[in-house]
Amino acid sequence: MSTEAYVYDAIRTPRGRGKANGALHGTKPVDLVVGLIHEIRARFPGLDPAAVDDIVLGVVGPVGDQGSDIARIAAIAAGLPDTVAGVQENRFCASGLEAVNMAAMKVRSGWEDLVLAGGVESMS
């Protein structure tokens, strides 16, 4: 059983003002996550997509474009195999941090080996 969990990389999406006419108002949250998944795959070309066990995302407002398990939808939209699971959780202002903690717990427990984790929120 693994006793350690490591963060291999950290990527941030662009950000803009949270307004109806903000820089990202036309960008759907799932597209932000898909962009991050594509970037991880570009940075680590030897990464077998089937090796990803799960995607854990923190989402404070899981409704509309951010609802319906955005982590699983992003995995599918990014072209990951259908064996890659996805889960979202809501911890209000610490959802992304809690998602990373959940991912670390899954790895440390030996339940999973490779988990992508983070948070997403559209305020526009």
**Of 110, 121, 114, which Cα lies nearest the Cα of 88?**
121
Q: What is the mean pLDDT of the chain?
A: 92
Q: What is the DSSP letter of 83?
A: T
Write down the domain spans for the chain: 29-119
Least confident of 5-14, 15-24, 114-123: 15-24
pTM across the whole model: 0.90
Quick check: 61 pLDDT over 90?
A: no
With H, G, I as helix, E, B as strand and everything else as coil, classify residue 38: helix
- pLDDT over 70 for what percent of the chain? 98
- pLDDT tens-digit series, residues 24-58: 888 899 999 999 999 999 999 999 999 999 999 99
Q: Can you give the pLDDT at residue 1? A: 59
Mean pLDDT of 78-87: 97
- Rounded Cα distance between 107 and 118, Å, is 15
**Rounded distance between C-alpha atoms, residue 88 and residue 121, angstroms:** 12
Amino acid at 22: G
Given the candidates 3.40.1260.10, 3.40.50.1950, 3.10.50.40, 3.40.47.10, the CATH classification of the domain at 29-119 is 3.40.47.10
Place of tokens 């474009």: 65
Secondary structure of residue 57 in the 3-state scheme: strand
